[in-house]
């Protein structure tokens, strides 16, 4: 038994509690302040593939001595988060996989105009007229088909045909990702609202809905479905690495300005609220420069660099043979797309 | 976002909601039934029969608690892609969640007074009949409490169901938020989810009824004479082994396989350590905060029973069934509007964890306080001990084990939390769960494996703590 007088115990335990609380608070603030988490020169909200930026960022850091911190997420999630954060956003730079997410932030008036240097190397059609952001990579819409059950001649002339009854149960796609939503926004831009709504209703009826484009590829390769809608680079990457999923599938390019030949642009923009404008400008300028673009071309990514001086593996169908439809990158309407998709029961 | 009643009706009356409702309800009903049957059967087998190696079986049967449901989903789906849809979701969720029923039922079985059974035998009832008519009815609170936890977990489950391609309200809300953030459709879906959670809570209250099963005093720690299995021993052993192989063997095999096959190219030690440290620090801080916050709620509910205190206690459960993304979004908006400086700090993230996982601490701490007789406090007071000293020297030691168990449950939940962490964590923070998710959703199964392994390892101490907690009785969570 302890012999401490009972009356002093509460005070003592209170004091002890206060001391430990202070210690915890101190540790926590050290951790968040400057200790463990550091204070970076550029905060990038990154919705591009994490793996790609993990490869690129060290090159930039080495060259400039600047410290880049990534916050990873998905296109629309991060775009909406930035809009919610408004001028309090911790983000300096925003990178996406597809342009509709850029438009969401741009429409909220949160981007700063890019310096001449950041867009100089990128062809004009991939930069919005007001130069609030720039494209830096591109990806081509494709269909993949299973080579055991299909030949190229069985494939439809247009991506719109996948909504026809003969495709029931035979086509897979991933409606919840920004990738597919970018394709829908192109369809909306090219074909109009009613045609898009009908197309989505048909796809909902026909489609096998999967988690992402990689699963689209798997489902085609395993023969679960005859065809899938995705972007080309997934298939090229897999073929380049091991061919484990792509060995029973082939790519089908719609071409001929079909909505299914839509080229989606990955965007980079600088937040007007950023307190690190200089560093952010350096980062985006570097990203569109020849060195970084070539590094992307040589990386595992196999997306198309937009800087004409950078080249991609010769195994990939050349950019200038894609015959994409003409779409203004700044005009793609993300919110209307999600409304239409919600209406169709896909979201 | 404000929407009118017409728009709301329009959003709720569409086919997609019906589809999600059907999916969510059928999966919840099937999994709650399966985990209840499995949990009780396994508990009786291990606790009340002469099955060989009972201690070892107990350990193996609790082990799935250390394997997060989404790691389990990954393990199955990466071995065999046909494990998806309703069948796959049912299998994986049942195997991951049955310990939530098994553990409280075991705890209850250990506490039952064997005298009741002995009376039944002396009146000529057979062993099996006694089990069915005397023992099983007494397990009802443990069973219902466990099944309620399974239901609530299931309503909030995102990772496993997303990997297994079975859309429920939670995965659909996630998809909606991913596209529109605080869009009206997502808000409407979250509303339906809260209603489902309330239905579960009310149903459990009703089924439980007013009967009390407590006995006066703890009595001697005497166990019942085990039931002899005879020739049934071997088929039952084989069944038990089957369950263990499916629940523990498959994830273990899958993890080891991916570690060997996949990680030859990638074993980033620095990244792994960083994620490990961040996970442990956040989970410890959250577990501590949630346990501390649970104490006043429980004290109110147990020592000052009444409609209001029940309401306060029950209201904490609602957040448990909300997907992390809903709570995360609410905190994004609230913190940016009210206290911008705390946005994306560790403090706000810990607050989110407390909101999400407080009920788990409440459930366990309540069980402890129920068993700490209030009369002891009165005795201490009458001897001149002040309120704080009474708390420290009388009440806290009595409920300390349940505080530990509550903290362990919260720790397990936080270490696997995904969506709120992604949204609210300080910049640059990567946890085991977020890194695992990023790799596995890109189908880089090999790269995901080391993170999954660390998640399991981090969960082991908490699981052992829970397993040893013989008096852990989740069933007393609810009045």
Asked if A72 reaches chain B (Cβ–Cβ under 8 Å), the answer is yes
Question: In this prediction, does ipTM exceed 0.85?
Answer: no
Residues B283, B425: Cα–Cα separation, whole Å: 13
Find the closest chain B residue to A85 by CA distance.
B336
CB-based contacts of B442-447 (< 8 A; 24+ apart in sequence): B442/A49, B442/A51, B442/A212, B442/A214, B443/A214, B443/A215, B443/A218, B444/A51, B444/B262, B445/B74, B445/B78, B445/B258, B445/B262, B446/B258, B446/B259, B446/B261, B446/B262, B446/B263, B446/B264, B446/B265, B446/B266, B447/B262, B447/B263, B447/B266
Rounded to 5 degrees, what angle do the CA atoms A301, A306, A309 make?
A: 100
CA–CA min distance A295, chain B (Å): 20
Asked if A21 reaches chain B (Cβ–Cβ under 8 Å), the answer is no
Beta bridge mates, A137 = A266, A305
- Structure-model confidence comparison of residues B122 and A45, the more confident one: A45
Phi/psi-derived region of residue B165, left when phi > 0, alpha when psi is between -120 and 50, beta in every other case: left
CB B148, CB B478: distance < 8 Å: yes
Average pLDDT, chain B: 85
- Following DSSP, what letter does each residue of A295-325 receive, concatenated? HHHHSS--PEESSTT----TTSPPGGGS---
pLDDT surpasses 50 at A281: yes
- Best residue of B22, B78, B85, B179 to probe chain A, by most A CBs closer than 10 Å: B179
Rounded to 5 degrees, what angle do the CA atoms A175, A181, A186 make?
A: 135
Q: Taking each helix axis as running N to C, give the angle between helix A178-191 and helix A75-85, from 0 to 180 degrees, rounded to the nearest 10.
A: 90
pLDDT surpasses 90 at B475: no
- Following DSSP, what letter does each residue of B334-387 receive, concatenated? HHHHH-GGGTTSHHHHHHHHHHHHHHHHHHHHHHHHHTS-HHHHHHHHHTT--H
Residue A34 CB neighbour total at 10 angstroms: 10
pLDDT surpasses 70 at A6: no
B417 contacts: CB under 8 Å, gap ≥ 6 = B324, B353, B356, B433
pLDDT of B228-254, one tens digit each? 888 888 999 999 999 999 999 999 999
Cα torsion at B9, B13, B16, B22 (round to 10°)?
Answer: 120
pLDDT surpasses 80 at B219: no
Taking residues B83-100, report their average pLDDT.
Answer: 94
pLDDT surpasses 50 at B478: no
CB-based contacts of B239-244 (< 8 A; 24+ apart in sequence): B240/B42, B240/B45, B240/B51, B240/B57, B240/B61, B243/B38, B243/B42, B243/B61, B243/B95, B244/B57, B244/B60, B244/B61, B244/B63
- Following DSSP, what letter does each residue of B312-326 receive, concatenated? HHHHHHHHHHS-HHH
Cβ <8 Å between A10 and B388:
yes
pLDDT of B369-406, one tens digit each? 877 777 888 888 888 888 888 888 888 888 888 899 88
Residue B233 CB neighbour total at 10 angstroms: 14
Residue in this structure with the two tokens 């004009």, named with its chain if needed = A124
* DSSP H helices in B83-215: 85-97, 99-111, 114-122, 127-130, 136-138, 140-156, 159-163, 169-180, 184-208
Cβ <8 Å between B162 and A88:
no
Backbone angles phi, psi at A142, to 5 degrees: -145, 170
Question: Residue B264's pLDDT is what?
Answer: 58
pLDDT surpasses 60 at B91: yes
Q: Tell me whether strands A207-209 and A171-173 are parallel, antiparallel or unpaired.
A: parallel
The kind and range of the H/E element at A5 are none
- Name which of B163, B175, B441 is nearest A347 (Cβ-Cβ): B175
pLDDT of A202-261, one tens digit each? 999 999 998 889 889 989 999 999 999 999 999 998 888 777 777 899 999 999 999 999
Average pLDDT, chain A: 88
pLDDT surpasses 90 at A95: yes
- Name which of A81, A211, A343 is nearest B441 (Cβ-Cβ): A211
pLDDT surpasses 70 at A347: yes
Question: Residue B131's pLDDT is what?
Answer: 84
pLDDT tier at B213, thresholds 50, 70, 90: low
Find the closest chain B residue to A87 by CA distance.
B336
Asked if B184 reaches chain A (Cβ–Cβ under 8 Å), the answer is no
Asked if B438 reaches chain A (Cβ–Cβ under 8 Å), the answer is yes
Cα torsion at B279, B281, B287, B289 (round to 10°)?
Answer: -130
pLDDT of B175-189, one tens digit each? 888 787 777 888 888
Tokens of B429: 């923070």
pLDDT surpasses 80 at A26: no
Residue B184 CB neighbour total at 10 angstroms: 19
Cβ <8 Å between B179 and A210:
no
Provide Rg for chain A, Cα atoms: 24
Q: Which chain A residues have a beta carbon less than 8 Å from that of B393? A: 9
Phi/psi-derived region of residue A345, left when phi > 0, alpha when psi is between -120 and 50, beta in every other case: left
- Structure-model confidence comparison of residues B444 and A186, the more confident one: A186
Question: Residue B422's pLDDT is what?
Answer: 85
pLDDT surpasses 80 at A17: no
Query: Cα B13 to chain center, whole Å?
Result: 32
pLDDT surpasses 80 at A31: no
CA–CA min distance A61, chain B (Å): 16
pLDDT surpasses 60 at A23: no
Tokens of B350: 């810990």
CA–CA min distance A121, chain B (Å): 30
Taking residues A91-99, report their average pLDDT.
Answer: 96
Asked if A255 reaches chain B (Cβ–Cβ under 8 Å), the answer is no
Q: Which chain A residues have a beta carbon less than 8 Å from that of B389? A: 6, 9-10, 13
**Closest by CA position to B159, among listed B362, B278, B280, B323:** B323
Cβ <8 Å between A6 and B16:
no
pLDDT surpasses 90 at B313: no
Cβ <8 Å between A37 and B347:
no
Provide Rg for chain B, Cα atoms: 23
Residue B322 to residues B145, B192, B330, Cα–Cα distance (Å): 19, 10, 11
CB A68, CB A44: distance < 8 Å: yes
Residues B219, B371: Cα–Cα separation, whole Å: 13
Cβ <8 Å between A70 and B428:
yes
**Closest by CA position to A74, among listed A57, A98, A110:** A98
Asked if B215 reaches chain A (Cβ–Cβ under 8 Å), the answer is no
Q: Which chain A residues have a beta carbon less than 8 Å from that of B162? A: 211
Q: Which chain A residues have a beta carbon less than 8 Å from that of B168? A: none
Asked if B163 reaches chain A (Cβ–Cβ under 8 Å), the answer is yes
Taking residues B128-148, report their average pLDDT.
Answer: 86
Q: Name the range with the highest mean pLDDT among A107-121, B101-115, B120-134.
A: A107-121
CA–CA min distance A245, chain B (Å): 11
Cβ <8 Å between B389 and A9:
yes
Q: Which chain A residues have a beta carbon less than 8 Å from that of B183? A: 338, 342
Q: Which chain B residues have a beta carbon less than 8 Å from that of A43? A: 427
Question: Residue A41's pLDDT is what?
Answer: 94
Question: Residue B473's pLDDT is what?
Answer: 41
- Structure-model confidence comparison of residues A170 and A29, the more confident one: A170
Find the closest chain A residue to B418 by CA distance.
A73
Length of chain A: 347
Chain B, window 366-405: residues with a beta carbon less than 8 angstroms from a chain A beta carbon: 384-389, 392-393
pLDDT of A302-322, one tens digit each? 999 999 999 998 889 999 999
CA–CA min distance A152, chain B (Å): 26
Specify the 3-state DSSP secondary structure of A94.
strand
Percent of chain B with pLDDT over 70: 93
Question: Residue B37's pLDDT is what?
Answer: 96
Taking residues A276-284, report their average pLDDT.
Answer: 97
pLDDT of B350-368, one tens digit each? 999 999 999 888 877 887 7
Q: How many CB contacts within 8 angstroms connect chain A with chain B?
A: 124
pLDDT surpasses 70 at B209: no
**Closest by CA position to B404, among listed B319, B296, B291, B303:** B291
Q: Which of A116-120, B138-142, B434-438 has the lowest mean pLDDT?
A: B138-142
Taking residues B165-173, report their average pLDDT.
Answer: 90
CA–CA min distance B409, chain A (Å): 22
Question: Residue A225's pLDDT is what?
Answer: 95
Cβ <8 Å between B392 and A37:
no
Residue A87 CB neighbour total at 10 angstroms: 9
């Amino acid at each position: 038994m302890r012999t401490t007088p009972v009356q002093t115990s509460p005070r003592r335990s209170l004091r002890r509690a206060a001391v430990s609380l202070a210690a915890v608070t101190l540790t926590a603030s050290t951790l968040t302040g400057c200790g463990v988490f550091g204070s970076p020169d550029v905060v990038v909200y990154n919705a591009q593939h994490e793996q790609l930026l993990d490869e690129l960022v060290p090159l930039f850091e080495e060259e400039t001595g600047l410290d880049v911190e990534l916050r990873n997420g998905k296109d629309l999630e991060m775009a909406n988060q930035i809009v919610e954060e408004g001028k309090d956003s911790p983000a300096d730079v925003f990178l996406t996989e597809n342009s509709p997410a850029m438009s969401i932030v741009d429409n909220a008036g949160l981007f700063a105009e890019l310096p001449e240097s950041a867009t100089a190397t990128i062809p004009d059609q991939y930069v919005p007229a007001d130069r609030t952001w720039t494209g830096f990579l591109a990806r081509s819409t494709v269909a993949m088909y299973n080579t055991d059950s299909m030949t190229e001649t069985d494939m439809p002339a247009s991506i719109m045909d996948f909504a026809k009854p003969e495709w029931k149960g035979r086509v897979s796609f991933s409606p919840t990702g920004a990738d597919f939503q970018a394709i829908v926004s192109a369809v909306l831009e090219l074909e109009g609202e009613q045609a898009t709504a009908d197309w989505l209703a048909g796809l909902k009826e026909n489609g096998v809905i999967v988690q992402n484009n990689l699963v689209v590829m798997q489902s085609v390769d395993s023969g679960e479905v005859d065809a899938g809608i995705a972007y080309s680079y997934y298939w090229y990457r897999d073929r380049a690495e091991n061919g484990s999923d792509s060995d029973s599938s082939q790519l089908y390019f719609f071409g001929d300005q079909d909505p299914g030949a839509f080229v989606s642009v990955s965007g980079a923009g600088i937040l007007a609220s950023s307190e690190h404008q200089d560093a952010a400008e350096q980062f985006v300028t570097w990203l569109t420069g020849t060195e970084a673009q070539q590094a992307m071309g040589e990386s595992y990514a196999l997306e198309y660099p937009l800087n004409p001086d950078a080249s991609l593996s010769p195994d990939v169908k050349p950019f200038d043979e894609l015959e994409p439809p003409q779409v203004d990158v700044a005009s793609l309407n993300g919110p209307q797309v999600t409304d239409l998709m919600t209406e169709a029961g896909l979201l | 976002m404000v929407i009118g009643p017409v728009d709301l009706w329009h959003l709720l009356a569409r086919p997609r909601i019906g589809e999600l409702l059907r999916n969510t309800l059928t999966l919840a009903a099937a999994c709650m039934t399966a985990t209840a049957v499995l949990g009780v059967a396994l508990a009786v087998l291990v606790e009340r029969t002469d099955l060989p190696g009972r201690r070892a079986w107990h350990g193996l049967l609790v082990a799935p608690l250390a394997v997060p449901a989404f790691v389990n989903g990954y393990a199955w789906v990466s071995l065999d892609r046909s494990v998806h849809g309703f069948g796959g979701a049912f299998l994986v969720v049942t195997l991951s969640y049955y310990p939530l029923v098994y553990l409280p039922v075991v705890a209850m079985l250990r506490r039952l007074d064997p005298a009741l059974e002995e009376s039944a035998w002396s009146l000529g009832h057979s062993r099996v009949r006694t089990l069915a008519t005397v023992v099983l009815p007494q397990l009802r609170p443990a069973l219902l409490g466990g099944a309620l936890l399974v239901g609530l977990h299931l309503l909030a489950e995102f990772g496993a169901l997303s990997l297994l391609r079975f859309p429920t309200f939670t995965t659909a809300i996630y998809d909606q938020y991913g596209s529109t953030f605080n869009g009206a459709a997502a808000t409407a879906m979250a509303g339906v989810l809260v209603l489902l959670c309330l239905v579960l809570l009310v149903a459990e209250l009703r089924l439980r009824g007013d009967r009390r099963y407590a006995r006066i005093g703890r009595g001697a720690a005497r166990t019942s004479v085990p039931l002899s299995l005879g020739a049934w021993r071997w088929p039952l052993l084989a069944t038990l082994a089957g369950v263990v192989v499916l629940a523990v063997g498959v994830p273990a095999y899958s993890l080891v396989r991916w570690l060997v096959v996949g990680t030859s190219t990638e074993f980033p030690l620095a990244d792994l350590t960083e994620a490990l440290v961040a996970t442990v620090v956040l989970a410890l801080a959250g577990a501590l905060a949630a346990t501390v916050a649970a104490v006043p709620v429980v004290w109110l509910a147990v020592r000052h029973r009444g409609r209001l205190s029940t309401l306060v206690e029950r209201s904490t459960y609602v957040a448990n069934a909300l997907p992390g993304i809903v709570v995360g979004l609410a905190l994004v908006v609230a913190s940016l509007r009210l206290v911008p400086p705390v946005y994306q700090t560790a403090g706000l993230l810990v607050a989110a964890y407390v909101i999400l996982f407080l009920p788990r601490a409440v459930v366990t701490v309540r069980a402890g306080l129920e068993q700490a007789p209030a009369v002891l406090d009165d005795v201490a007071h009458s001897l001149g001990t002040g309120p704080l000293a009474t708390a420290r020297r009388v009440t806290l030691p009595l409920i300390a084990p349940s505080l530990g168990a509550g903290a362990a449950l919260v720790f397990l939940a936080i270490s696997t939390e995904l969506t709120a962490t992604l949204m609210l964590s300080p910049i640059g923070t990567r946890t085991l769960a977020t890194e695992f998710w990023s790799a596995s959703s890109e189908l880089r199964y090999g790269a995901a494996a080391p993170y999954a392994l660390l998640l399991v390892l981090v969960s082991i101490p908490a699981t052992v703590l829970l397993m040893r907690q013989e008096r852990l009785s989740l069933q007393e969570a609810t009045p």
